[in-house]
Structures are given as C-alpha cells and as structure tokens.
Amino acid sequence: MRVVSLIAQMQSAALRWKKSGARVGFVPTMGYLHAGHISLVKRARQAVGPKGRVVVSIYVNPTQFGPEEDFTKYPRDLKRDLRLCREAGADVVFTPTDAAMYPGKSEDHYSTYVVEETLSLGMEGSSRPTHFRGVTTVVAKLFNCVLPDVAVFGAKDWQQAAVIQRMTADLNFPIKIIVAPTLRERDGLAMSSRNKYLNAVQRAQATILSECLSEARKLVKHAPQSAARLTRKLAECVAAKSEARVDYIHFFDGETLVPAKTARPGTHMALAVFFGKTRLIDNGRL
C-alpha cells in the first residue's frame, strides 16, 4: 500500500491505472476510521475486482465545518488509519494538505465552490448552512484528483449521499456512486468517528437515535401516522434522556428528500440529536 500526498502524483497514478485497464474505486473519508469505513473499502474492492485499484482519502475538510463546529478537535490518528487501510486491502491512501486543496490562506486566493441548490436545503443544510457547499466542493475536487470509476459513500449520511449523487449526475462526472449500508454497534448506535466524544452517560443514552427509528417503524406498521404528530412523540422520547437535545426529526421521500406529511412503510426518517456538544445523526427507511 502506498501513501500519496501530492495531487499530481495521485492523478498520474490514476491515469496510469486507467491506461492499463484497471478500474479505480474510491472511498473519501475524514479519517479516524472505524468498522463502518472499512466496510466501504471492502465494498469498493468488490466493485472494481481484484485487478482494480482502491483509493482511500484521509482529509479533514475545513470548508464543511461551521465556525462553531469541531474542526480543530475532530479526532485524528493517521498511523492507525493507515494500518486499517492496509489490512482492508486498500492500494493507495491519499492524504492531501490544506495548502494543496485550497491554495492560499484567504478567500482572495480561493473563491470557487460547488453548490447543490435543492437536496441540500433541509435537515443538515438547515442546521449547518455552509456544510454542503464544503462537502460538494471537496468531493468534486477529490474526484478530479483520484479519477475514480466508482465511489462509495455510507448510508448513515443519507442526505449527503443524495447530494453527491445529484452533483455527480448534474456535473457529468463519469463515476458510479454506491451507497453502502450503515454499520451499527451491538446496541444499535450507528458507528461514527464522533462517538468518541461521548462520556459514559451520553454513550448509554445515544441509543435513543436507533430506538426512535425502531419506534417509528413499529407505529407506521400498524397504520399511517401524521408526520407532525410522530415528530412530537419521538421528540418527547429524546427529551426524556437527560443528556439529549433534539436538533431535528424529519420524514421524507428517500429518493427526492421531499418532506412527507404522512409517515408510512417506505417513508424515510432522519434525526439529529445533541449529547452535550456532540451532535449525532441517524436515518432509516420505515
């Protein structure tokens, strides 16, 4: 496994692979990898086959963090990440620098962004207004660096995956987007690098996200539910946890992200909950 930091070196390797007929699979990450990330690496390998090449990027992208968010404190452990990537069968780990991805240190020296204007408006887009501009910009740049045939994203970030799929189609990137299932801890909590922020009490209470999904599935199985009424009911369940505070609970069409007034089997649900300063998200099909 090689570690590549220079963009020109990454592009050169990708062009060489393509010339030889090898397909390129790509998994973009911000590092501090867990089993969920590794499942994406293995899915990329499955997509490109044993003769293909799998690239994992590790880059904590500053433009998708708001001014009050955890960019400087975001967990980092490159040595451990490289070991996990090697064990998972990655061929290259791409570790670009801020200076390479965003030349110059001020807005005067970097002023081009990619913006998706429909799917990015609600949920995460409402709670984190500049987030998706940063996501789409960095993913588009990474696509141009890695030149993948296939890119794999996790279903835990459902809205993000939808935005990336729309961007890929709208900008004619010749890339197949695969959305792989969410991996969970034994108690149901979706795997996330931010789980490490939780203290013991918060970690025990964080299962309320998956419990809300389970409760919503149980209720709609019996009869369609008013989305507004179901939101209030689930918000009360979250509020019963001393460390938890609802950011949003949202019901929508899983493909278009259009809000649903009635929740029924097949409706998608997403929620974001704060535990102290740590914000966790989850989603699922009812």
Q: Convert the pLDDT of each residue in 72-102 to its tens digit.
A: 999 999 999 999 999 999 999 999 999 999 9
Q: Say which of 34, 37, 109, 131 is annotated catalytic.
A: 37
Domain with CATH 3.40.50.620 in the chain: 2-180
CATH class (in words) of the domain with range 193-285? alpha beta
Give the per-residue pLDDT at 107. 54
**Of residues 250 and 110, more confidently modeled:** 250
Mean pLDDT over the full length of the chain: 96
Query: What is the token pair recorded at 6?
Result: 């220079």
Evaluate if residue 269 carries a pLDDT over 60: yes
The rounded distance, in Å, linking the Cα atoms of 164 and 162 is 5
- Average pLDDT on 164-186 reads 98
Share of the chain above pLDDT 90, in %: 96
Evaluate if residue 181 carries a pLDDT over 70: yes
Give the per-residue pLDDT at 248. 98
Q: Which residues face 28 on adjacent strands?
A: 57
250 is catalytic: no
Give the per-residue pLDDT at 114. 97
Q: Which pTM was predicted? A: 0.95
**C-alpha pair distances (Å), 168 with each of 95, 188, 203, 215, 243:** 22, 31, 36, 34, 38
Give the per-residue pLDDT at 58. 98
Domain with CATH 3.30.1300.10 in the chain: 193-285
Q: What is the pLDDT confidence band of residue 104, given thresholds at 50, 70 and 90?
A: confident
Q: What CATH topology corresponds to 2-180?
A: Rossmann fold (3.40.50)
